[in-house]
Structure 1
Amino acid sequence: MLVVSTEEVFHEFSSGKLDPTALRDYARYLYQKKPGTLKYLLLFGDATYDYRNILKENQGKSFVPVYESRESLHPIYSYSSDDYFGFLEDAEGEWSEDYAGDQTVDIGIGRLPVKYLSEAKQVVDKLMHYEDPATRGTWQSKCTFVADDGDYNVHAEDAERLVQFLEKTPYQAEKIYLDAFPQIGTGLDQKSPKANEAITSAMNDGRLLVAFAGHGGVSGWTQEQILMLRDILGWRNRDHLPLFLTATCEFGRYDDPGVVSGAELALLNAQGGAIGLITTARPVFASSNSLVSEAFMKAAFQPINGVLPRLGDLIRQTKNNSLAGRINRNFALLGDPSMRLAYASDSLKIQSPDTLRGGGQVTLSGSTSFDGEGWLEVYDQEKTYQTLGDENPKFSYKDRKSLLYKGKISITQKQFSSSFILPTSLETGSGRALIRVYAQATDGKRSALGIARPFINGKNSTPITDHTAPILSLYMNTDDFKNGGETDDSPILFAQLADNSGLSYTELNPISAVLNDTLTINLNSYYFPESNKLGQVIYPFKHLPPGSHRLQVQAYDVFGNRVNQSIEFYVVPSTKTYLRNVTAMPNPFTQKARFTFEHDFQDDDTEITFYLYDLSGRLLHQQSLQSYVTPSPYEDLVLEKPELNTGLYIYRIFVRSLSTGRSLTGGGKISYIK
């Protein structure tokens, strides 16, 4: 590994002038000096289109130059690109910026867009934490594919093609297609809180990869706001960070010093977000997005000399296998190119019966290369679903959502075995089930993943007889809770379940709850098995209104025997009056400032009012906005180009819940430089 400063490179290769070509020439010098040794180039610093440092936003920040296209006005055909530093072969270096300039990248290039020493330290700590064996878990086996609606379903079709690449591997695909979720509002004012919740849930649970295709911008995804900056600020998934692939416009713009894009924010988030992003710095076309995304999926799960690729290998292969003139140059890796994703390091073999049947006992066995523990999941056959057809005709796709069994296994002498009874509530007809086992070594340093696809068809010819319902006990927050007792406004439901035959969490017979006879909640994802006969539901409620509430919980065993139990509790009104984590960025500011804060009105529509005062208390500026219901308690607003003189100012932010009328306030001081 070799670390050099930009000043050293400029001194040797551009007579001290700030020149991107100096970086490229230095990389070529190393590339030729000892052929085959230079593999990756990490650009450790943010970038700016302002090479001459004319803008005030550039002052005091760390910048590593980026190549800026000769075309600077056209929104599509202008671009910034780090690819230039990887054109290292003979006769390369003058970029014609058209199809004739479709030169291949010879090394893997990534960038960490940090501006300050504090940001650099946070990102490095985050990268090191990602390598900690204590962070490993089942999230390593899961990938999420998000698709926008409209455009004649082209984004969902693109996502389906990406999923097909994953089906050849033991990794699991989750589909979040916007048109499969209900939307509120009309026309350009439509929003999709449920799709937003699904993305938030995926981030909280952890994913190896999150891929998005659709419309977007520097501040989020889709017109329906399924992902916004406030969501990114609220991510607290430090122990299970995904790589993002965002085939959308400008989400990763990293060469504008006055803007912190959503991609940059996800990478710089010290408490969560992303471990890296392959993202875009300018507007892009759906056709080239598809080329890039497919090239990525071909490379992401294809071993190189028996080992899955590092991020630098991944971006290099993706770029070289999706050449399309200047258009694919807008994609960049924001991340460490020498890092490898948290792939499962070992393989795992599963022996299962040829055919599974409902109501019958199943015994599985298998082997891997270490001792430890594992997590077993059995899914029913695929089922055809349709989107809602909000903007275009309904789109049909297949998905595997019905979980038949999940449980822990012990691996001893590199072998494991598990027995359980399948539920009788299966999909009709014959198809392929899916069995997946994720395993982890005792020391946490190795993991393995394996799948089997036996047939599944009908019920067992000699079913086991069981007419006894499961045992269910409920409490809120603590196990000494008394029915009808008091809770805070965000209590946690604990539901302990036991059944001698096993519990059901299929689509047909899920674990569910009904709050106040109106809101139905599927609890399958919140069930945590302790064995194949015993487990616990842990479900967090958020910001319930004060007063009495009644909750009914229902569960089935594998033979369809049902238990139903209710619990009552009284929510005590919150006495909090202040916003949390109120910050202003940048501070001081010159053109615009972004204010972020956390409130207690999650899942409420809110009214936000912003006031700016001088030091004498005179009101200088006021603005209001309404924020639609969101599962994130984080919000943000922007103050842009105010008519102010250089100086220190006071700001206040008021947030009012439109459902309860409660208000919270917060504020601080901010400096403006004209």
Structure 2
Amino acid sequence: MKKITLLLLLISSYVSFAQQRDNISIEWIDNSGIYSEQIQIKAPIFKSSGFYFNYEKKAVFFNLKIPVSGFADENSLQITNIVYETISREQLGDLRISSIPSSIEASLKNMSNPASQKAVLYLSPIIKSGNTFQRVKSFTYSFSTTARRSGNTIQNSSLVYNSVLSSGEWYRFYVVKSGVYKISRSFLQSLGMNVGAANARNIKIYGNGGRMLPLLNGAYYPEDLIENAITLVGESDGSFDSQDYILFYAEGMDNWNKESETHNNLYADRAYYYVTAQGGPGKRIGNMPAIADNPTLNMTTFDDYQYHELDKTNIGRLGRKWFGERFNIDNEQTFDFKFPNIATGTQIKIRVNAAASAFTPTTMNVSANSQDINPLTFAATTSDGDVASERSTAGNFPAAESVAIKLNYNNGGVPSADAYLDYIILEAKRNLQGYGKQFRFRYNDADLNTGVIQYQLSSASRITQVWDITDIYNVQKVENNGADAFSFKAYMGEDRNYIAVDAADYYSPLKDSRTRVVNQNLKGTILKNAQGAFQDLDYLIVTPAFLSSQAERLANFHRTYSQLNVKVVNLETIYEEFSSGKQDIGAIRNFVKYIYNNASIPSKRLKYLNLFGDASFDYKNRISNNTNIVPVFQALTSFSLAGSIMSDDYFTMLDNDEGLMIDTSAQDMELAVGRMLVSDIKQAEEMVTKVIEYHAIESYGKWRNNFVLISDDVDVAWENSIQTGIDALGDQIAAQKPFVNVEKIHTDSYVQEASAGGFRYPKARKDFVDAINQGALVFNYFGHGGEDGLAKERIFEKADAQSLNNRYKYPLFVTVTCEFTRFDNPYRPTAGEYTYWNPKGGAIAMVTTTRQIDVVTGQAINQAFSSELYGYGTTNHVPISEALRVAKNNYTNGSALMVSYVGDPAIRLAIPKPTIVLTKINDQPVAASTFVFNALSPVKLTGEVRNVDGNTILSNYNGSLSVNLFDKNVQRSTFGNDGVTDGNGNLIIMNFTLLGETIFRGNASVANGQFEFNFVVPRDISIPVGNGRISFYAKRNQGLEDQTGYNTDIKVGGINPNATADNIGPRVRLYMNDETFISGGITNESPIFLAFLEDENGINTASGIGHDIVAILDGDENNPYILNDYYETELDNHTKGKVRFPFRNLAVGLHTITFKAWDVYNNPVTSEIQFIVVGDETVTLKNVLNYPNPFVSYTQFWFTHNRPYEPLEVQVQIITITGKIVKTINQMVTTEGFLSREISWDGKDDFGDKIGKGVYVYKLTVKSTLTNKKTEKYEKLVIL
């Protein structure tokens, strides 16, 4: 990418075949800004997905992704026809003036993804002209395109090949620090190697050192283990004798990494190396090439580099920046360094980096050998901003062999202020002299010079060799034959690193508990089937070995159900092959890239990546109860939830210029990615079970027609866009996908109540939770939120997430808020995580925020994602994760990285297929019908289940139909509860449209694609005539298939003047859990309430005033349970139906439910039921008996208990009156209610013999499989 100046044309060096051109208008919005939970930045914004705000520069940019048919010539970009408008300094708001250029800066960059080639246009739309400011209202861009570059169609940068670990015997060891290591025969034997049988000349060492893998894709790092050159002293005779040994250079964990600004490996503490004795001769250290040219520079000194850096604390518990020593109680600390053979008269360079967290500005004084260095001055931090302020200082001081660096933190008198040291770096000149230790040396300016440099070493009698370690895999040597002074020459023009090998100072390698390496061959097998033939991979699941059984269970499901080629790969094997045995996110990314690049054709590239495991900001398990199961990318920015990101998108951005995750607007995700947040085998089993249940026949139901949106209220004026934006989204979905029933929970349309903890919306909270439990395909929330829940008024909290009980009706949760699902902080599990983790409820998947996101980005992503998710204009629906991938790729704001997909990336939203059609009303064709659904009118509806095209009846379709008939849409307004006004002083009120009341819920059978059903319109409809709505849902009896349909042309309203009389109320039967229950019996703390209703005209569900279906618990009429939505009719019978309502967390003791319902004529019925709640911690037994009793050859054992739906271990022991056990029956029992009668007995003993007549005692023991609590009771039986 290359910047251009306005009107400057750069001529392309190749011939273009097409010119791309377009006119762009920018619609600016003043008096606005960038707003989120903790961000309040006033700035001009514009209505476009191309709006991008750079938080670091505090500048506004215009970005546009442009589809191109070929490859954009980045140097041919022209920006013309620019129309400006002058703006005031006040209109700039909080923009940083120094970041505003004096003329337009524009650039073009190519990018590609699986679907298309694109170019990204960048433009700075605000300029400073003298003392005035201007912004762009419109412009024209143009550029040339060329034929697509070779290799762009399929990026075979890697060819499929076998790993070196695929065969042979391998053993591994590790090192920590870089240097020359000595390996003895005994050490190899301790690894498990049969050294006596090995040919010493064939011994080889492989390994890639301790450096981190580059984040940038295009930076070189080996795809497999690389052989290292070694010296094996004594190998000439072919045997490895006791006096023989290996010398080799090992790169440890002490390397400066520019991408992460650290010396320490972020992911691992050990650099592994691998040794084998099989195959041909090994690579040996060769001699440096002899140079005959005379030296142009003689060097008797070298540039030494020392540092102090520890990683102990992550201040904000986010990002990849770690710090060492803390300055709080001990505010003055000293750090000592040694520089043997220091070059006197020189200067030592010092650089110190540190951070501080304090609510006032603070400083840190730095001194080196009592000489002051420039202090570090830290800015104050605030509760809603960065958690720390990071600063650096640098300077020089006179060289000395001993150096003491003193740091003194001045906390400004604030005891709570903390400072943290990042690193101290010292660079000094030392004489090239031996001193009894191995040491590395270099000349820093070698790359800036040409000619020959001669290094002259003195006091070198014990330095046996100098090794060139520039290429750690191909070390070269120059030998010293015991001379006190020796020299060697090298060409300048490039950086080169050396190490002086001192025979008295070899390092010793280390080993851990696993030294034998099992053969593996990911590269050679990942794209092959069981028969060894090439096969493209659709879906990759990455997980540690201890979770692989459940990952395989998920894979098997998708192999069968989704017809995907799925492979599960253990993290340990990826690390072994791609990062030399150590944890590194780059290894996972490079493995994914290897698979992606080696597909047979572009359309068969890898599509889905599942990171099957939780993540943490702590890669190294320094904190207790850590959850670093599968590592996640963390940004270097580590002090702000607004500026720092963690993202799994990193693993899917595979172009060579991607990976740094800095300018993400020019980076595309090549495949969809999801993370299943599981930390142990039990949790993994539960989450995989939810995926399977989501696709099971039990999950098929009319809830799949529902979409629920929830908005936060308006606390300040700019928040009005939150509720208006998501309301518009709901209307858009209803228009694009009319079969969807859009329910709206705008919190500001509810009554706000004051409480001790602040203002609350208890009814909105209840409606939210009830809607989840009743079922909806998608829940979409927009507003404030955080780790503890949604909205300042706490409309959804962790406790709500944990108590959800919507098994088989798992929704997709979309939360456009702040860090609702910040899953990388083990210290604080979030409400989002609990929503996902709920084993019997909660979400199947989440498109959710992990960091703070601004409103502009949130709205744009939500709109783009919803469009892709529901497939506007198509009936083909992509997986949820793919919808998010496409939405992000079409959006140019890097803040989209704040949104993550949690869940299985291969699942699709369970959208039913079209089409169910209403064909007749009261036997009249719909097109000719003028029928109005009057109150108390009998209605017969007829319809068909048709093919996707809507024209052909599915004559082989047999199943069941659910129907909801809605009254006319209702107009509502928000209340403006918080009294917020707009710029004109008007109270901010939003008008919106809701679905009308449900006036009928019915079920009918579908035979040969046709259905019909009857009902009576209830009295309580809205009288004015208008368009109602019918929502259909059907599912087949055989096979997993469902359909959806709707009709919005029916007319509802008015009263039937010829209605027959009906003065008799419904009949009702009440139970708890099942129909065996008797009033006064026992239940657990969360029983199911059942009400069976019957009326010749049907039951009223229209929510007329005072005519709801209601349950009153223990006489509390102020808090009734409205049960209209829980009533369903029997199949093909609108006169009968039932209410099934789950109570939750009832107190132990006696309870009474008073139930009331109405028929469609508003005739009431009232009934009561009592029950005793027994705590779930203990197992309670009542009514233990056997029936019949007495008996001859058959009896059943009956008992009631308080553990419905739970597998119980039940034992019955038959005992004689003398105490002898003659029969033991063990059986697992699971009941839907509280009565069990599953165990029977034929009167025979354990040997199958008939026992004698008489009286016997039996002991019944019941044990809970969840709590291991048990109870027992004795009773008598008689055998005749």
Q: 1:499 aligns with which of 1082, 1089, 1095?
A: 1095
Q: Which residue of 2 aligns with 1:447?
A: 1042
Contact 1:494 1:536 in 2 (8 A): yes
Identify the range of structure 1 (35-44 vs 189-198) with the bigger mean alpha-carbon deviation.
189-198
Q: Which residue of 2 aligns with 1:656?
A: none
1:235: Cα distance to partner? 2.0
1:277: Cα distance to partner? 0.6
Distance 1:82 1:575, change over 3 A: closer
Aligned letter for 1:313?
A: E
1:194: Cα distance to partner? 2.1
Are 1:113 and 2:677 counterparts?
yes
Are 1:260 and 2:816 counterparts?
no
Q: Which residue of 2 aligns with 1:438?
A: 1033
1:441: Cα distance to partner? 0.2
Q: Which residue of 2 aligns with 1:66?
A: 632
Q: 1:143 aligns with which of 707, 715, 729?
A: 707
Residue aligned with 2:659, SS: coil
Q: 1:339 aligns with which of 907, 919, 935?
A: 907
Q: State how far apart, in whole Å, the 2-side matches of 1:540 and 1:20 are.
A: 45
Q: Which residue of 1 aligns with 2:62?
A: none
Aligned letter for 1:501?
A: N
Q: Which residue of 2 aligns with 1:658?
A: none
Are 1:471 and 2:1066 counterparts?
yes
Task: Identify unmatched segments of 5+ residues in structure 2.
Answer: 1-565, 921-925, 946-953, 980-987, 1180-1201, 1203-1266, 1268-1280
Q: State how far apart, in whole Å, the 2-side matches of 1:540 and 1:25 are.
A: 49
Contact 2:1023 2:1055 in 1 (8 A): no
Contact 2:621 2:628 in 1 (8 A): no
Task: Identify unmatched segments of 5+ residues in structure 1.
Answer: 581-599, 601-665, 667-674
Q: Which residue of 2 aligns with 1:199?
A: 768
1:534: Cα distance to partner? 2.2
Residue aligned with 1:440, SS: strand
Identify the range of structure 1 (169-178 vs 291-300) with the bigger mean alpha-carbon deviation.
169-178
Are 1:512 and 2:1106 counterparts?
no
1:474: Cα distance to partner? 5.1
Q: State how far apart, in whole Å, the 2-side matches of 1:29 and 1:494 are.
A: 57
Residue aligned with 1:273, SS: coil
Report the identity percentage: 26
Q: Which residue of 1 aligns with 2:590?
A: 25
Residue aligned with 2:878, SS: coil
Residue aligned with 2:730, SS: helix
Q: Which residue of 2 aligns with 1:608?
A: none
Q: Which residue of 2 aligns with 1:284?
A: 853
Normalising by structure 1, we get a TM-score of 0.77
Are 1:162 and 2:720 counterparts?
no
Q: State how far apart, in whole Å, the 1-side matches of 2:622 and 2:1151 are.
A: 57
Q: State how far apart, in whole Å, the 2-side matches of 1:11 and 1:576 are.
A: 51
Q: Which residue of 1 aligns with 2:610?
A: 42
Identify the range of structure 1 (433-442 vs 465-474) with the bigger mean alpha-carbon deviation.
465-474
Q: State how far apart, in whole Å, the 2-side matches of 1:402 and 1:364 are.
A: 19
Q: State how far apart, in whole Å, the 2-side matches of 1:262 and 1:116 are.
A: 19
Q: State how far apart, in whole Å, the 2-side matches of 1:258 and 1:517 are.
A: 40
Contact 1:43 1:111 in 2 (8 A): yes
- Give a deviation string over 1:20-74, Cα, whole Å, max 9, x none: 23322222222221133211111112222233x1523376x55222221121112
Q: 2:1136 aligns with which of 524, 530, 534?
A: 534
Contact 1:310 1:338 in 2 (8 A): yes
Contact 1:431 1:457 in 2 (8 A): yes
Q: State how far apart, in whole Å, the 2-side matches of 1:31 and 1:250 are.
A: 31
Distance 1:328 1:422, change over 3 A: same
Are 1:177 and 2:753 counterparts?
no
Residue aligned with 2:1163, SS: strand
- Give a deviation string over 1:294-333, Cα, whole Å, max 9, x none: 1111011117985211123112122123331x31101110
Are 1:242 and 2:808 counterparts?
no
Q: Which residue of 2 aligns with 1:523?
A: 1123
Residue aligned with 1:246, SS: strand
Number of residues paired by the alignment?
572
Aligned letter for 1:533?
A: T
Contact 2:1001 2:1127 in 1 (8 A): no
Distance 1:428 1:394, change over 3 A: farther
Q: State how far apart, in whole Å, the 2-side matches of 1:398 and 1:360 are.
A: 27
Aligned letter for 1:293?
A: N
Residue aligned with 1:533, SS: strand
Q: Which residue of 2 aligns with 1:122?
A: 686
Contact 2:653 2:667 in 1 (8 A): yes
Distance 1:454 1:130, change over 3 A: same
Aligned letter for 1:292?
A: I
Contact 1:112 1:336 in 2 (8 A): yes
> What is the aligned-residue RMSD (CA, Å)?
3.2
Q: Which residue of 2 aligns with 1:624?
A: none
Q: Which residue of 2 aligns with 1:80?
A: 646
1:222-621 aligned at under 5 Å gives the runs: 222-302=791-871, 306-324=875-893, 326-352=894-920, 353=926, 354=929, 355-358=931-934, 359-368=936-945, 369=954, 370-392=957-979, 393-459=988-1054, 463-473=1058-1068, 475=1070, 477=1072, 495-508=1091-1104, 510-513=1107-1110, 515=1112, 516=1115, 518-519=1117-1118, 520-530=1120-1130, 531-539=1133-1141, 543=1146, 551=1154, 553-557=1156-1160, 561-567=1161-1167
1:425: Cα distance to partner? 3.3
Distance 1:466 1:389, change over 3 A: same
Contact 2:1070 2:1168 in 1 (8 A): no
Contact 1:312 1:337 in 2 (8 A): yes
Q: State how far apart, in whole Å, the 2-side matches of 1:116 and 1:474 are.
A: 45
Are 1:7 and 2:575 counterparts?
no
Distance 1:458 1:345, change over 3 A: closer
Contact 2:1092 2:1138 in 1 (8 A): yes
Residue aligned with 2:772, SS: helix
Residue aligned with 2:863, SS: helix
1:377: Cα distance to partner? 1.2
1:247: Cα distance to partner? 0.7
Report which of the two has the higher share of helix: 1
Distance 1:512 1:302, change over 3 A: same
1:569: Cα distance to partner? 5.9
Q: State how far apart, in whole Å, the 1-side matches of 2:621 and 2:1140 are.
A: 55
Q: State how far apart, in whole Å, the 2-side matches of 1:257 and 1:480 are.
A: 46
1:384: Cα distance to partner? 0.9
Q: State how far apart, in whole Å, the 2-side matches of 1:463 and 1:166 are.
A: 40
Are 1:93 and 2:659 counterparts?
yes
Aligned letter for 1:228?
A: E
Aligned letter for 1:145?
A: L
Residue aligned with 1:199, SS: helix
Normalising by structure 2, we get a TM-score of 0.42
Q: State how far apart, in whole Å, the 1-side matches of 2:805 and 2:1139 are.
A: 22
1:87: Cα distance to partner? 1.4
Distance 1:547 1:307, change over 3 A: closer
Structure whose CA Rg is larger: 2
Q: State how far apart, in whole Å, the 1-side matches of 2:932 and 2:667 are.
A: 52
Distance 1:563 1:103, change over 3 A: same
